[in-house]
Amino acid sequence: MIPKSMLLGMLKPLLPKLEGFLKDHPKLKENEESRIVMRIEDAEIRIEIYAYEFNDKKEVVSIRQIQDVDPKSL
C-alpha cells in the first residue's frame, strides 16, 4: 500500500490544472469561484468540488459543495 503522504504528493501537482478547468463550472453562480478538495478517508481518495461566494470586499460569504467526484470514474 502506498503511504498517504506519498499519494497526496503525487496528486497535488494536478490540482492547479484542475482548478483552471473549474473556473467555468456550469454550476457556479455570479461572484463564485470553485475549489477542489482532496482528502483520504478510510484508505480511499475523496475528491470534492466546492463553490465559494465572495462579497465586494473579496471575503468568503458562503461555501457549498457542487460536486462529489468518484475517484474510480477518473
Q: How far apart, in whole angstroms, are the C-alpha atoms of residue 37 and residue 60?
A: 16
pLDDT tens digits along 9-67: 777 777 777 776 677 778 888 888 888 887 777 777 788 889 999 888 989 999 999 88
Which residue, among 50, 33, 41, has the nearest Cα to 71 in the 3D structure? 41
Hey, where are the domains in the chain?
Answer: 4-73
Neighbours of 71 (CB within 10 A): 11
Confidence check: pLDDT of 74 > 60: no
Helix or strand (DSSP H, E) at 52: strand 44-54
φ and ψ at 68, to 5 degrees?
A: -120, 115
Q: How far apart, in whole angstroms, are the C-alpha atoms of residue 24 and residue 6?
A: 30
